[in-house]
Chain A
Amino acid sequence: MSSVRQEGKDKIIFVTKEDHETPSSAELVEEDPNDPYEEQGLILPSGEINWNCPCLGGMASGPCGTEFKDAFSCFHYSKEEVKGSDCLEQFRTMQECLQRYPELYPKEDDAPSSQASEESASAESASAEASDPAAGSEKDSDPTLPNTESSAES
């Protein structure tokens, strides 16, 4: 049983688990997946890559940003059977760049090139999730270092 108390202008309600078991009758406005104001996921409605996605961390904006963009774009638009197999050159160049900044891009345990393609795959599936409005997966801003964070960002 929920209890209600009023303290001046402030209302206080206590609810048990059972009180909240019935589905909510509150109505939410339907989301527009193509709303230009909204934060975009990794892949824009046009099919292009959103380099400003917080999920990329600082990859596209750091010293190796250009190399990263080249490699990831190539992968994204690759039509090969093994996606990205025609992009080895770009990934190698990116790898060389990452190695020049060990402070920013610390070495991971897995082989870098395979991990890069893994990340791309996971990033792409992440974007599929991101574009699902019902999931409410708007991303918050990313204020922190990418290198100590999760795999998708290294």
Chain B
Amino acid sequence: MLTCRAVWKKLAPLARASSTVCRQNVRRAGWNNARTPLCVPVAHMSTGPVGGGSDNLKYALLVGASFVGGLTYAVITLKGDQKRHVERMAEISSRKQKSASQIQTEPAAPLETKLEAAAAPDAEAAAPSETAEPPPVDEPLAEASAEEAAAPLTDAGVEEAADSKPSLPSHAPYLLIGGGTASFAAARSIRARDPDAKVLIVTDEPDLPYMRPPLSKELWFSDDPSVTETLRFKQWNGKERSIYFQPPSFYVDAEELSGAENGGVAVLTGRKVVHMDVRGNKVKLDDDMEISYDKCLIATGGVPRNLQVIERAGEEVMKRTTVFRKIDDFKSLDKVSRNAQSITIIGGGFLGSELACALGRRSTESGLEVIQMFPEKGNMGKVLPEYLSNWTTEKVKKEGVKVIREAVVKSVSYKDDKLEIKLKDGRVVRTDHIVAAVGLEPNVDLAKSAGLEVDSDFGGYRVNAELQARSNIWVAGDAACFYDIRLGRRRVEHHDHAVVSGRLAGENMTGANKPYWHQSMFWSDLGPDVGYEAIGIVDSSLPTVGVFAKATAKDTPKAATEESGTGIRSESETEDTASSAVAPAAPAPVVSHRDEYGKGVIFYLREKVVVGIILWNVFNRMPIARKIIKDGEEHVDLNEVAKLFNIHED
């Protein structure tokens, strides 16, 4: 024990000196008693006393006494230390048995490093009474107790598997904030690349990670009356799947994460990260629990926006308004749709149009009135060029939706058991329930405490091309405003982007250093007859070139999924090599359409370079579209580029 050694070192010279002196005195005394005075010269030490015998004796006694006294003091102190140490250990082990959340209040990291430094030279037994060589023996007591506090914490970390009651982890090598698509994709990526990685996902939702697209599409088309409970949906090809990425057995319990031999992914549900300490590499949850990390991903997604006029309209209106994003929103809207007589969807984008079509379908059975209103001239007005937006609006109407275009809501009030929506141009709409699908507010709550930059143009955390915000912190998914090498800085709110960026963040968290390069895609279905896939910047304010062919009955989303044998469309490219496509049916007769835009390709241009492509009712050609965007070339004749897609084939 170092204390002993330190003490001994201090006492040793004194001891040595006094022992020599003693020996010398003894010798002299001996000789004085000896018969034969052998006049052997005695080597005098500098410390040796010269002088008379009685003086010598007095001195000898003095030195001896002080030596013994010193020894006694040392022994007493050490015994006291040991006693204190034993008491302390007992106290701490009794503390260990208390509830998990109370254990960790001090930061483990600085104490751990301190301990490591001290532990390096000495004992394997993590001796708690190690100190860093302090000169006085009594000083290290205070330090020792601090070190002792740290020791059981590391002990707890090391011996958690052996512990009778494992606790929630106070440290996660990989901490993912948010439990959505991006987070799950990152977790999978990390586990694939870092063997035995321990990944902790913290989410404020009560659910395990799930995918969002079916909430506004497939789940509504299910025949199963218990779909709100099972959350399973049957795809066109008959295969059934849950919206959850993985069943609960895939995940490791959070308490067992630290001790898991091969690592794993653990999900802590119902906890919100409220504070982030970047310098200390740790976060604080809403229950005051602290978790430190080595690498952290922020994938907090966003919160649906609502109209200000609704928020100011009072409780009766708010009670009858749904903002749609989570599983609970789906459940409650499903319930409403079975009881209400009229539902109005405010918003003409992806979510609004998909929900309108889904509810419109239901309306044919139940007599439910479905209204959709938006400020633009047509559905997807901000995405599709005007002619296509108009065509799509007609399709949405065919799904049973009453579409009110160029509608700006002025006020909403609750009157006579109905919601009354007054538009700026004077029109009034009376309805039972409102669904607000007016955009997403990216969640940047942690920006302030973490000192992270927020983008003023697109919202979200500002990150570089490798999705990194600062050292050891990455952001992916809806909340990430990232630099796209090809297309410039942007923020994307699509499912496939969450997967792509989550995967990339996971790769970079495990040392890959790759920029965002594989362009994500998105898709939308408006009923079973209209569907499109898109990639890149698809903004209706850009000049477009559309190349169309006449559609046959085969060119529908339904046919596409049947052929590729999959459900979610972005999957079909992954399964490409694995499964063989189902042989297409005999060629269907050409169906004559009143409309002209059966199927085709639409190019979005920015200074003659294609930055976005929509594949309109043309499927399984995304790799070609991706290639064209990646090249970033100026093509003189886009009709020639369109030939690459073989739009007349299946």
| Contacts from A to B (Cβ < 8 Å) | 2, 7-17, 19-20, 22-29, 36-39, 51-52, 54-56, 58, 60-63, 65-66, 69, 101, 103-104, 122, 126, 129-130, 136-145, 148-153
Contact = CB atoms under 8 A, between A and B. Distances in A.
B359 interface: no
Contact of B246 (A8, A23, A142, A145): A145
Contacts of B164: none
Contacts of B630: 29
16 contacts: A10-B546, A14-B596, A15-B548, A17-B648, A26-B643, A37-B518, A52-B192, A55-B577, A55-B578, A62-B246, A126-B577, A137-B623, A141-B499, A145-B244, A152-B577, A153-B578
B530 interface: no
Contacts of A23: 643
**Interface of A (DSSP majority class):** loop
Contact of A65 (B191, B211, B648): B191
Interface in B589-623: 596, 622-623
B414 interface: no
B518 to A, nearest CB: 5
B67 interface: no
Interface string B295-312: 000000000000000000
B575 A149 contact: yes
B195 A69 contact: yes
Interface string B570-584: 111111111100000
Contacts of A52: 189, 192-193, 503, 506-507
Nearest to B213: A143
Contacts of A26: 635, 637, 640-641, 643-644
A105 B62 CA distance: 83
A62 B245 CA distance: 12
Contact of A51 (B193, B520, B641): B193
Contacts of A11: 543-546
Contacts of A63: 249-250, 252, 262, 264
Interface string B502-532: 0100110000001101101100000000000
A148 B293 CA distance: 34
A141 B643 contact: no
Nearest to A141: B499
Contacts of A38: 517-518
Which 3 A-B pairs rank lowest in CB-CB distance, beginning with the nearest?
A61-B191, A152-B578, A141-B499
B506 to A, nearest CB: 8
Nearest to B197: A61
Interface size class of B (residues with CB under 8 A): 35 or more
B247 A104 contact: yes
Given A52-B193, A143-B185, 15 more contacts: A11-B545, A11-B546, A12-B387, A16-B549, A20-B549, A29-B630, A65-B191, A104-B250, A126-B578, A138-B623, A140-B570, A142-B571, A145-B241, A150-B575, A151-B579
A76 to B, nearest CB: 15
Nearest to B644: A24
Nearest to A18: B648
Contact of A9 (B189, B544, B573, B640): B544
Contacts of B639: 2, 13, 15, 19
- Of A69, A137, A138, chain B has the most CB atoms within 10 Å of the CB of A138
B565 A13 contact: no
A13 B544 CA distance: 11
Nearest to A11: B545
B577 A142 contact: no
Contacts of B239: 148
Interface of B: 181, 185, 187-193, 195-196, 211, 239-242, 244-247, 249-250, 252, 262, 264-265, 385-387, 495-496, 499-500, 503, 506-507, 514-515, 517-518, 520-521, 542-549, 565-568, 570-579, 596, 622-624, 626-628, 630-631, 633, 635, 637, 639-644, 646-648
A58 B520 CA distance: 20
Contact of A141 (B192, B240, B570, B648): B570
Contacts of B549: 14-17, 20
B570 A101 contact: no
A130 B640 contact: no
Contacts of B386: 7-8, 10
Nearest to B247: A103
Given A58-B250, A145-B241, A28 B631 contact: yes
Nearest to B632: A29
Contact of A148 (B241, B521, B642): B241
Given A29-B631, A51-B193, A150-B575, A144 B211 contact: yes
Given A103-B249, A143-B185, A148-B240, A28 B642 contact: no
B574 A140 contact: yes
B565 A37 contact: no
Contacts of A28: 627-628, 631, 633, 644
B590 to A, nearest CB: 11
Contacts of B628: 28
Nearest to B639: A13
Contacts of B565: 150
A29 B211 contact: no
Contacts of A8: 386
Contacts of A101: 249-250
B242 to A, nearest CB: 7
A45 to B, nearest CB: 14
A66 B264 CA distance: 10
